[in-house]
Amino acid sequence: MIGKKVAYVKSQGQSRKHHCHWPGCEVQCPPAMWGCKSHWYRLPRDIRANIWAAYRPGQEINGTPNRSYVEAARAAQDWIKSQPKDLLGEIL
Ligand SMILES: [Zn+2]
Structural domain includes residue 92: no
Of the candidates 43, 42, 31, the residue with the CA atom closest to the CA atom of residue 74? 43
Structural domain includes residue 91: no
Angle at 51 between CA 46 and CA 52, to 5 degrees: 95
Mean local confidence (pLDDT), 46-74: 95
Domain assignment of residue 63, given as a range: 2-86
Q: How far apart are the CA of 36 and the centre of ligand 1, in A? A: 4
Q: How far apart are the CA of 62 and the centre of ligand 1, in A? A: 23
Number of domains in the chain: 1
The pLDDT-based confidence of 47 (bands split at 50, 70, 90) is very high
Angle at which helix 67-82 crosses helix 45-54, to 10 degrees, equals: 160
| pTM greater than 0.85 (yes/no) | yes
Q: How far apart are the CA of 92 and the centre of ligand 1, in A? A: 8
Structural domain includes residue 21: yes
Q: How far apart are the CA of 73 and the centre of ligand 1, in A? A: 14
Cα 82 to Cα 38: distance, rounded to the nearest angstrom: 19
Mean local confidence (pLDDT), 43-58: 96
Cα distances (Å, whole numbers) of residue 5 to 62, 82, 85, 86: 17, 29, 33, 35
